[in-house]
């Protein structure tokens, strides 16, 4: 079974600074997808960024970028120019490639990101 | 795109009662997922549908849990004979079929509290 580990229960960063959230995963499969989701307090979970394992290029979405190290099974999220609206729980998630039965996401426990003004 | 809708937002019930939650996916999405999220944890996958077919249900937590999507549109999740440990947030998500990197869009969830 796949597992996703987020070793940082909580991170704090000053507004406008850069922060990196860590994620490692364990899988025996070679083709899969990785995601970062954001869950603000009492609000719905939204997708921040996604990465396909067969792509070597790291994904980027505006201020959000990832460092995907397939051999190390590491998938960290970098947030540049942190804003107060970035404060939330951040979840790393894994999904196997199409096929087979289980098609749900496997999530880590999350990292609580605090933005200090 | 009106988003994924879940009802009710909150449900409080006594131990031993049955509860049912409803999820209305985004209209053009034919895949629908249920997750459970307990305090301090990430969501845990329970089951998923493609159209009306339930393609994965081995992850349902016990035989007290069941889900349906009779016409391939909205879905219901039922918990029979609720227990204290069932207290959690129940999340629904939907996506288009196709490549597995199609993002899952989540609803606001139904928070279940067992007295």
Whether the per-residue pLDDT at B98 is higher than 80: the answer is no
The pLDDT value given to residue B101: 67
The pLDDT value given to residue B17: 97
> Residue A104: its chain B contacts at CB < 8 A?
33, 35, 45-48, 56, 59
Average pLDDT over residues B8-36: 95
Inter-chain CB proximity A101 and B42 less than 8 Å: no
Q: What is the mean pLDDT of chain B?
A: 92
The pLDDT value given to residue A98: 66
Tokens at residue A86, please?
């970035």
Extract the residue ranges of chain A whose pLDDT is less than 70.
98-102
Tokens at residue B55, please?
């393609």
Average pLDDT over residues B20-46: 94
How far away is chain A from the Cα of B47, in angstroms, using its nearest Cα?
Answer: 7
The pLDDT value given to residue A30: 85
Please report which confidence band the pLDDT of residue B100 belongs to, taking 50, 70 and 90 as the band edges.
low
- Cis-peptide into B8, omega within 30 deg: yes
A105, A106, A108, A109, best to mutate vs chain B, most B CBs in 10 Å? A105
Q: Measured between alpha carbons, how far is A83 from A63 in angstroms, rounded to an integer?
A: 10
Helix (H, G, I), strand (E, B) or coil at A84: helix
């Amino acid at each position: 079974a796949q597992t996703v580990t987020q070793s940082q229960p909580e991170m704090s960063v000053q507004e406008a600074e850069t922060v990196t959230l860590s994620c490692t995963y364990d899988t025996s499969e070679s083709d899969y997808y990785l995601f970062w989701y954001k869950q603000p307090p009492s609000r719905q979970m939204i997708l921040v960024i996604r990465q396909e394992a067969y792509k070597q290029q790291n994904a980027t979405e505006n201020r959000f970028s990832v460092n995907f190290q397939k051999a190390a099974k590491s998938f960290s999220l970098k947030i540049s120019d942190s804003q107060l609206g970035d404060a939330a729980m951040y979840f790393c998630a894994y999904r196997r490639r199409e096929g087979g039965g289980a098609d749900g996401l496997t999530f880590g426990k999350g990292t609580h990101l605090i933005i200090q003004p | 795109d009106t988003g994924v809708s879940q009802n009710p937002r909150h449900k409080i019930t006594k131990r031993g009662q049955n509860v049912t939650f409803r999820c209305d996916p985004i209209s053009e999405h034919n895949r629908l997922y249920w997750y459970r999220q307990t305090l301090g944890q990430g969501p845990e996958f329970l089951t998923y549908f493609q159209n009306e077919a339930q393609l994965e249900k081995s992850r349902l937590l016990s035989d007290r849990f069941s889900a349906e999507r009779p016409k391939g549109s909205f879905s219901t999740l039922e918990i029979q004979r609720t227990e204290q440990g069932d207290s959690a947030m129940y999340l629904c998500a939907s996506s288009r079929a196709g490549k597995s990197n199609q993002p899952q869009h989540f609803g606001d969830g139904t928070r279940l509290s067992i007295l």
